[in-house]
Chains A and B, each alone.
Chain A
């Protein structure tokens, strides 16, 4: 079955702009999480959506937001980009049943802010 798909793979934006990243989870997975990875801070949890509702949010400013659609696809948006937002943004999906299945990650979107 298809894995987690993230688009675009690479993105270059200018400081002050905004950006929208997309994530399509594995078919049947209802939960989508987003992570930011930088060399300095490592992998950090941004937020998690389940059935179109944000359930958890990490310690990031309000410039970072997201949403989930009825088909479980998710988008994250970063407004007023800063140089420090340059990072690999990873999306992960998990199934909604009570089985413990771990998370499947996508390959990420590498965002460069100049």
Chain B
């Protein structure tokens, strides 16, 4: 399995603003997943985008995937204080069945 690398490592915004975080990976993938971790809790799956998809939406979340650049981005629109958490991407290779997580992006949304 391969590890995604999230950027930036930390992001601080005001409520109502949009938050964008990026993920880069090294080899071809079958899909890429995004997870959220609230402080002191386990990871929660947010969204999965497959290699043949370019964009996917779920509520206030928008994920894009550029396989030519081996990168993905997660956009959270109209952020709320409750969005404060760490966000992890997890690229999944074809044929691999374990997920590896990077260091994540720590998002702080201030009221």
- To the question of whether A and B form a pair in one complex, the answer is no
Interface residues of B (CB under 8 A from A): none
